[in-house]
Amino acid sequence: GLTPYIHFSPHITLDYRGRVSGIVYSNKSGGYAPLMASVETQEAFYEAKAMLGRLLMDDRFHLKHRLEPGDMIIFSNLRVLHARETITKSGERYVQGSYIDNDSVTSTYLGLVQGTKKLDALQ
């Protein structure tokens, strides 16, 4: 039979120091309070989610940059909230997405650093 794919994730995750390490938000889906939480906790969750949504829609907190043909932008999906403007009738858009997981990048970086240290030791 069919099994639905459902992923639960907090909007804001913290690292071991208590600092924000990731943010995931979509105003269209997600962000449901745990069903086992008390009614008071669920109400507080939805109030906080609504406030976060209002802050994210506030132009004071937006940075806008128009990419020109040939431009590229690289960012972490977990560290930068991002969106696109509506396509106008006269405009065209081509967007090519590519994704890399953080573990691969970190592992490659650490391997290169260790390799460089070994080369330095040989000299």
| pLDDT of the residue at 82 | 77
Domain ranges across the chain: 12-122
| pLDDT of the residue at 31 | 64
Answer for the pair 19, 29: CB distance below 8 angstroms, yes or no: no
pTM for this model (two decimals): 0.61
| pLDDT of the residue at 54 | 92
CA pair distance 17, 78, nearest whole angstrom: 17
